[in-house]
Amino acid sequence: MRRLTLLPPQRAAALVGQYAAERASARRRLLVTAAVMAVLLGLASYAAEVRPFVLAANIGKFTAYLREIMPVLRPSHLGTDLAEWYWALPRWLSLLGETLLMAYLGTLLGAVGGFVLCFVAAGNLVKSAALRFVAKRFLEVCRTVPEIVFALIFVIAFGLGPMVGVLALAIHTTGALGKLFSEVVENIDMKPVEGLTGTGASWVGTVRFAVLPQVLSNFASYALLRFEINVRGAGVMGFVGAGGIGQELLIAIRNFYYSDVSAILLMIVLTVFAIDFGTERLRHHLIGAEGGR
Amino acid sequence: MTERTRPSLRRTALADLDALRARHPGQFRTDWAGRLRVAAVLAGLFGLAAYGMWALDFSLGRIVHGLGRLGGFALEMLPPSAGGRFGVFLQALGETLGIAFLGTLTAAVFAFPVAFLAARNVVPNPFARFAVRRGLDVVRSVDVLIWALIWINVVGLGPFAGALAIACSDFGAFGKLFSEAIETCDRRPAEGIAAAGGSSLHRIRFGLIPGVLPVLASQVLYFFESNTRSATIIGIVGAGGIGQYLTELIRVLELKQVAFLVLMILVTVAAIDWISGRLRRAVIGGAGR
């Protein structure tokens, strides 16, 4: 067994000094970061008109509001109470179905658009920098403008209704999925592509037989994730008159139909839960299939 | 090189096709079952889409008519101009950034302790964890616009309601993401602390937090980016920021100013993207060292 030997005092002192310097510099960094954060926080609070006293005075209103929207459910009259709470169930269910269909169509159309554009925007497949630049900027604009802004403009152009919501969702989804898809394509294994190019295959043939088999399961997984997000997005499309259950919720909140608010919110939350759960299962299945190959 | 070998390779292969078929029957067999499966999936997807279009009253006439009007709008937007209200717009943009910053930070501060309660390696009790997680899910599944409507009832119209709304909806998302980051964190430092006789609080402070902090910081930065986008729209329901002007101007068809606002938003988001990308790389790089 080796005996522990003490460091010579000079080297020990040097190491201790170094340690202290490191700690001091770390502390200085922390202080500077904290100061910058404090300044930013002050600026942001000023810009956002933070009024802590109003919040403190009215926080009771928030809990009161939550209490207010709770339905009256008595165990002795559970059936009638439930029926009263969900008095418009058939209409709400059909609106919820409309919301889901909007999300589905928006995702599908957006995925098709993103699918077509992602190969053009991928750096490893398209040599023309100009074409790639145009495709990338187009996707960026589609992605950055929120879907509800598209919906606002489309409502004026196309008239009210769920079709507008679908188109708005589809455009935003094209931008979001196009970017994700093209990142997947840029990360593929290039050997199959070189092999097919070597045999003289056309560009479309190369994409079909060398790229597509590598990326399809990832594409599907991203599209499912987007579907989940779009269900939430479709739920508020009604705020601007673009169809779905949002309109009903907006009316309920604005007009203080308290029990309706909780009824519709509960339906939305449950639907989102169910969709989350379902898509997560499907995605694990898809990714598992990918890993198994 | 390819120009010379390609035709000859192709010619040899085509001449030898029958022998190739005999040698590799597996490669030439048509996978009918697979094709049928793909066709069925596609038919299902597009069948449902067709039903959806029918149910949601899609009509070609409306689309064509609307596209015509959209083209007209696009022409009207063309020289984007602030209409002499640049200062007002700039102030609204600052408000939007303030909402995003404040909302993200508040959400992160509140979600940080809660995330530990939802992480498997901190709270082994499955029931407590399940309750925390479902609670976060409920908060997360309510859209930020709905939160904004609710907070407007509490603190009145204005950007403060918007900041609170973003804080609420992000609180759920952060709780989930943070707890996942904590769960995938390296176990060994925490075990070392436990072996050296540290309490469970020491274990979290010195074993877990140094490892997860850079990951969390990068997630917060990413959300700040996406919240800048969300903060532009909560003005639609009256919760402050640039969205208020955007809605108003779209409703009255002041399209030149709309185009100007959209450009301002695009530039801001691109700038934030760039800054937070740099910061994210710096933070993550710091962890790798």
Q: What's the whole-number mean pLDDT along residues B18-40?
A: 83
Reported pTM: 0.79
> Looking up tokens 């040899």, which residue turns up?
B12
The Cα A188–Cα A128 span in angstroms is 19
Cβ distance B260 to B188 under 8 Å?
no
What is the structure's pLDDT at A111?
A: 92
Contact A46 B98 (CB under 8 A): yes
Query: Measured between beta carbons, which residues in chain B are less than 8 angstroms from residue A199?
Result: 6, 9-10
Domain boundaries, chain B: 85-288
B57: left (phi over 0), alpha (psi -120 to 50) or beta: left
Contacts of A101 in chain B (CB under 8 A): 52, 55-56
Would you give the DSSP letter of residue A70? S
Mean pLDDT of all residues in B101-105: 89
Contact state of B232 with A197 under an 8 Å Cβ cutoff: no
| Least Cα separation, residue A2 to chain B (angstroms) | 23
Q: Indicate the residue of A102, A144, A156 with minimum beta-carbon distance to B250.
A: A156
Assign domain B85-288 to its CATH architecture. Answer: Orthogonal Bundle (1.10)
Name the pLDDT band for B6 (thresholds 50, 70, 90).
Answer: low
B240 closest CA partner among B139, B97, B104, B132: B97
The reply to whether residue B143 touches residue A233, judged by beta carbons under 8 angstroms, is yes
Give the pLDDT band of residue B7 (cuts 50, 70, 90). Answer: low
d(CA A9, CA A158): 83
Residues of B in contact with A48 (CB under 8 A): 95, 98-99, 102, 159-160, 162-163, 240
Which range, of A121-125, B114-118, B133-137, averages the lowest pLDDT?
Answer: A121-125
Separation CA B19–CA B31 (nearest Å): 21
B236 pLDDT higher than 50: yes
The domain segmentation of chain A, as residue ranges, is 14-44, 91-291
In chain B, whose CA is at the least distance from the CA of A274?
B141
Q: What is the pLDDT of residues B140-183, one digit of tens each?
A: 888 888 888 888 888 888 888 888 899 998 898 888 888 888 88
Tally: H helices and E strands in chain B: 14, 0
Please list the alpha-helical segments (H only) found in B125-158.
126-141, 144-155
pLDDT for res A289: 61
B288: confidence class by pLDDT, cuts 50, 70, 90: very low
Name the residue among A43, A58, A148 with its Cβ closest to that of B236: A148
The verdict on ipTM greater than 0.90 is no
What per-residue confidence (pLDDT) applies to B50?
87
Distance of alpha carbon B101 from alpha carbon B139, whole angstroms: 20
Cα separation, B285 vs B27, in Å, equals 47
- Tell me which of B73, B180, B227, B233 to substitute to probe the interface with A (most A C-beta atoms closer than 10 Å): B233
Cβ–Cβ pairs < 8 A, chains A and B: 182
CATH of domain A91-291: 1.10.3720.10
Q: Which of A37, A69, A149, A228 to mutate to test the interface with B (most CBs of B within 10 A)?
A: A149
Question: Considering only residues 183 to 242 of chain A, which have any Cβ-Cβ distance to chain B shorter than 8 Å?
Answer: 197-200, 232-233, 235-236, 239-240
Structure confidence at residue A136 (pLDDT): 87
Give ∠ CA B260-B264-B268 in degrees, rounded to 5. Answer: 170
B233:A249 CB<8 A: no
The rounded average pLDDT for each run of 10 residues, N- to C-terminus, in chain A (293 residues) is 75 88 89 89 80 76 79 76 80 89 92 89 79 87 85 86 90 91 85 85 85 85 88 87 85 83 87 86 74 45
Name the one residue in this structure whose structure tokens are 């997360």. Answer: B140
Closest-CA residue in chain A for B70?
A157
Query: Residue B5's pLDDT is what?
Result: 52
